Each structure stands twice: as structure tokens, then as C-alpha cells.
């Protein structure tokens, strides 16, 4: 009996252990291999897309993870290099239209991390030959809407496609997000400026000119607001009322001077109407009476 119990115990202990996600360690190992090998991922888009994911973002809001679930982008391991354009804060030059051939032939990769934790990213162990920065653009994502430079993963990829002239790829990529196409609309004018450039020097010059323009517009708005301060101008509503009352008083003055308006009648102490001497002359022989009815001689 003891021998049989030991055999049963050995059989139970030989079962594979399960991880925190409920799957066996062998299953988890296969899943990790599939994730990094790219099987089933990155094949649903005309151009090769990749990312180094450091799991620093909220999975529910992470645009990179959503693209991975859709099979559009694949994850790279730390230590792997990428042959295409790498959009990275570690880049030295900026994306320019001359990068189009590299984008179409080798694709684009991004670093999926939090802006608040950039110091934790081992940039020396990732990247590639063509690392690039993005020029000035404004975010349209739900986390950093309206903030310059703060693009998320899918915005960075779309920006790269748009600048090199592949606005079709940018639109296709952003269409998977409810707010996505708003990024192209928000930056439409500036993207068109970058598309007219050629190399990174011309893109940088266009970026500097744009930033200078924004600075000048801000200064003009500041001067205008200080010179047209509503508190210095006074009560606008009260001024409107005064203008109306002045016009009204002018009209009344004109009417009084004209002959078409009659003055209100005047009465004596007995209630008799006192006719104005301007309109009716009193005959010399007419008998006049005082307030008690006595004849005035």
C-alpha cells in the first residue's frame, strides 16, 4: 500500500506547474517565442513595423500593444537591432522625405515606453543604423492631447509615414483608433510643410521657422490682450446703453424743437385749462376772472 501511495504521489508531482496567468510554463515559453519571433505578428501591414516594449505604459491605453494584438507590429528583444528607420529619443537627425526608400524597404520601429521613465530604457542595447527624431508635432491621443512632442507609439509611426510622403500608410495605421485620424487633421498644415522638404537640414529649418512663427503669434496675442483689456475699456454694456439714451434724448430734443409735438396742457387751481399765449391771444375787451370767480377789472 505504501508503495502504491508513493507512486500516486510521484504521478501528481510530475504534472507541469502553472504560471500566474494560469498557463503551463511550457505554454508560456512558447508564447514568448512566438511574440519575439514575429510569427503571426507584423504581417497585416504593407510595411514592416516593430517595437521594443518595456511594459511601462497602461496596457489598456498602450497603442503599441493594440497594434500587436491586431498583428500589425512585432516586438523585439533588448539586444536586437532594426534595419529600418528607428524613431527614438536617442536619435541624432530628424525624419525627412529622403528616408522614404528606407521606410518602404525596411520599415519603421519605435520604442514603446513611458515619457516619464526614459532614463530606465537601455538605448545603447536597442536601435539601429537609422535612428531618427521626429520634428515638432502635436499629440492627438487621449492622454497628451494638444501637447507638443508627446506622441504615442502609433502617432510616431504615422508621423514618420506622413513626413516621407506615405500619408496612405499613416491613415491606414491610425484608422484602428477612434481618435487616430484627428492626429493628421491637427497637424495637417505642418505635415505639408515637412513634405516639401528634402533632407534633415531642410526639415530642421522648417521646424525652426514654424516655432518662430508660433512665438510671434503668442507675442501678438499678448500685446493685443494687454492693450484691449476689458477692465481698462470699462463697462461695454453700460456704454451701449448710454449711446442709446443719448440718441433718444437727441430725438426728444428734435421733437421739442419741431412743431409736430404738442406740449401737455396746464391747469389753474379750479381745473380750468390755461391756454398758452403762444397759440391763443386773449382779446383786450374779454372779461377775466380770478380764482374765486370775481371779475378782474
Feature table: binding site for S-adenosyl-L-methionine:
63, 111, 134, 149
Torsion of CA 160, 164, 168, 171, to 10 degrees: 30
Buried b (16+ CB within 10 A) or exposed e, 202-229: ebbebbeebeeeeeeeeeeeeeeeeeee
Instruction: Give residue for cell 528616408.
Output: 99
Q: What are the grid coordinates assigned to 221, written together?
A: 496675442
SS3 266: strand
Q: What are the grid coordinates assigned to 110, written together?
A: 519605435
Residues marked as binding? 63, 111, 134, 149
Whole-number Å distance between alpha carbons of 180 and 189: 17
Whole-number Å distance between alpha carbons of 137 and 157: 13
130: β partners: 85
Q: What are the grid coordinates assigned to 184, written together?
A: 493628421
Q: Do the Cβ atoms of 178 and 154 come closer than 8 Å?
A: no
Whole-number Å distance between alpha carbons of 252 and 257: 9
Whole-number Å distance between alpha carbons of 123 and 88: 9
SS3 294: coil
In 3D space, the residue among 184, 185, 204, 186 whose CA is nearest the CA of residue 194 turns out to be 204
In this structure, the number of other CB atoms found within 10 A of the CB of residue 250 comes to 10
The radius of gyration of the chain's CA atoms, rounded to the nearest angstrom, is: 42
Amino acid at each position: 500500500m505504501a508503495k502504491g501511495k508513493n507512486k500516486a504521489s510521484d504521478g501528481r508531482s510530475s504534472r507541469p506547474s502553472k504560471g500566474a496567468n494560469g498557463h503551463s510554463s511550457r505554454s508560456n515559453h512558447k508564447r514568448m517565442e512566438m511574440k519575439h519571433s514575429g510569427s503571426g505578428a507584423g504581417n497585416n501591414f504593407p510595411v514592416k513595423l516593430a517595437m521594443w516594449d518595456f511594459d511601462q505604459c497602461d496596457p489598456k491605453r498602450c497603442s503599441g500593444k493594440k497594434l500587436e494584438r491586431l498583428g500589425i507590429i512585432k516586438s523585439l528583444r533588448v539586444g536586437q537591432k532594426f534595419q529600418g528607420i528607428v524613431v527614438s529619443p536617442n536619435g541624432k537627425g530628424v525624419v525627412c522625405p529622403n528616408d522614404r526608400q528606407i521606410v518602404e524597404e525596411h520599415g519603421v520601429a519605435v520604442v514603446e515606453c513611458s515619457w516619464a521613465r526614459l532614463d530606465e530604457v537601455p538605448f545603447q542595447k536597442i536601435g539601429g543604423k537609422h535612428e531618427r527624431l521626429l520634428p515638432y508635432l502635436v499629440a492627438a491621443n487621449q492622454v497628451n492631447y494638444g501637447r507638443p512632442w508627446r506622441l504615442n507609439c502609433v502617432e510616431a509611426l504615422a508621423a514618420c509615414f506622413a513626413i516621407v510622403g506615405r500619408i496612405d500608410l499613416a491613415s491606414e495605421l491610425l484608422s484602428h483608433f477612434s481618435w487616430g485620424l484627428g492626429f493628421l487633421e491637427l497637424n495637417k498644415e505642418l505635415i505639408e510643410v515637412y513634405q516639401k522638404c528634402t533632407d534633415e537640414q531642410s526639415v530642421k529649418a522648417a521646424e525652426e521657422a514654424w516655432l518662430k512663427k508660433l512665438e510671434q503669434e503668442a507675442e501678438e496675442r499678448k500685446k493685443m490682450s494687454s492693450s484691449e483689456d476689458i477692465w481698462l475699456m470699462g463697462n461695454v454694456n453700460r456704454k451701449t446703453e448710454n449711446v442709446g439714451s443719448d440718441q433718444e434724448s437727441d430725438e426728444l430734443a428734435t421733437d421739442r424743437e419741431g412743431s409736430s409735438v404738442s406740449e401737455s396742457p396746464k391747469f389753474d387751481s379750479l381745473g380750468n385749462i390755461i391756454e398758452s399765449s403762444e397759440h391763443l391771444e386773449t382779446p383786450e375787451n374779454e372779461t377775466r376772472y380770478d380764482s374765486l370767480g370775481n371779475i378782474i377789472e
